[in-house]
Structure 1
Amino acid sequence: LADYLTRARGVRADPERIVVCSGFAHALRLLFAGTRGVGGGVLRGPFAVESYGLGFHRDILAGSGVRTVPLGLDERGARVEELSERPRVRGVLLTPAHQFPTGGPLHPERRAAVVDWARAGGGVVLEDDYDGEFRYDREPVGAVQGLDPEHVVYLGSVSKSLSPAVRLGWMVLPERLVDGVLAAKGEREAWASALDQLTLAEFIAAGQYDRHVRRMRQAYRRRRDRLVDALAERAPHITATGIAAGLHAVLRLPPGTEASAVKAASWQGIALDGLAAFRHPEATMPPPAGLVVGYATPTEHAYGAALEALLRALPPGEGEAEGGVG
């Protein structure tokens, strides 16, 4: 892992700093809950999070007694300058390579700014690099952790690159946090299978993991291109954003149509969410309308039918009859 993360993601990773876990959620529990229950973790709150993100991540922090504070988002990513307005916040959880769910990387100036903030106040940045290997239109964005390994916790897993069924993830930790996380994990491994770890180690060492990621990057790019081409031909009033990387796109919708589009997709047999499902309950930024479409989910033989069903669920453009697309 140390060799791979250094080479592929620009992480400054000594093996002694890496703690293997069963995935991102397990990593959060080790960091915040630890062995002493609520409020007894290696990290304490309050913690800032992006105003749009996965609700169950916020729930894990809340269950550990950590209050989360939303940061605004714009075309340059999380508005990390807002951290200076929140003096009690001890850290921030970010998806800097590809913000989930809105898409787009954290701007280089903001990457540097959030590290400066952590250095100045003794804070910590949690970097969720959930799909950093999958970038299509330009060179991959390196990890923020490479800017300051002592103030950034790098978090990754194989849930996107291999399968969420393979329960393996990792933390690359600042030196001061290693002992506390190992103590929280315990002497006997209860979560991450040793056999799975050995298999992944061989997969990486033999070069098979790199080849697999390259192959899947090409496959997912073709799926993304099919989605974008279908929208351009059949629903040109709908714009797909966040498509330079990752395994999902956000389809920007006319105001007021998100809830009806989610319901229409369900009628077509498609399970997807609107942006509202990811909004922090305390967020103040105006809510955009959009659908979060995971184009990697359908099997290859079902992708064409899923795409057709999605097109039928989209709201019509101005002047089109209801149900006119598809």
Structure 2
Amino acid sequence: MRPDILAWCDSLSHFGYVAVAIDYRIGFNPASGAGGFGPAHGMKRAAWRAMQDCNSALDFLKENYLDYRIDTNQIFLLGNSAGSITAINTVFIGDDERYEETLEVASGANNADIGDLNANSFFPNHTNRVAGVVGLWGATMNFDWFDEGEQVPMLFIHGDDDNIVPYDEGMAFNFGEGTDINIYLYGSQKLHEYFETMEWEHEYHLYPDEPHAFYSCGDMNMIELEKENFPCEQWEPVFNQVVTWLSLHNNYYLYSKIEKEEENLDFSIFPNPVSENLTISSKNSIIGECTIFDISGRQVMQINPQKTTCSFDISELKSGVYFLTINGNSVQKFVKQ
């Protein structure tokens, strides 16, 4: 398995997530261009197969949620490149929106009907509904698939020097429009603009001068990348943006020491979210040592007010999710805007 996939699964599991890598079918068969059909024909069939596999994985997890101890209403899809394209479009596409190229368009196995979205699922009675999608350098092929009511919160991250999946729009792999070797894509910028127009919930981060899969140390596919050389410097900001976004969009505290809400009533913090001054107030206890940790668990600030109420400036902290420990045991989560 690629080291970045391992890193995502391992890191997210430390934040309380059940992390699953989907081994979806990828690539296309140039032979499917037989009979006068170009390679783009094969690419569309490959994209449909990937969405079939994503649906099958969702069906499996929802059917076996007790075994994996997951909340089926809190499943998120996170994809990288082709995986991102698959995740984004799986949310919206239905069997009535299939590419014509996925039907039987000519004789021969390479051009046979490859079935509907549930063709490979053992548990086809579940929906493809998820709680949200993280799209890393992703895209869509068709905005006609996007219908009101199907949308979920999404996070888009892309580099503007991506010549594999265009951040704006264009042919995949940077081929010209006159070639019949690929499909036209609408990248994260166009997704952002569409979501803005529709007033759908989303977040968008564009990295200037960064190429495709820019946290991969220059190896796009990371096939030759040794584990000891990963992560690269861009892994940390991308990871923090993803985990912060996930923390804001799920129903659970992602910190093992957080106690039950009724046990934290002695301390309150406000405002939350906060941009400058955070206030801690206690009904009965002296506020002693207070420590703030960022989403990766690093200590970023510490105070020791010895009062029942105190305020302190956090304006220098970066935007994101933080955890505040009070007197060494009570833990509160807050968001720095």
TM-score, normalised relative to structure 1: 0.28
Question: Which of structures 1 and 2 has the bigger CA Rg?
Answer: 2
Which has more helix, going by share of residues? 1
TM-score, normalised relative to structure 2: 0.27
**Larger RCO (alpha carbons 8 Å, 6+ apart):** 1
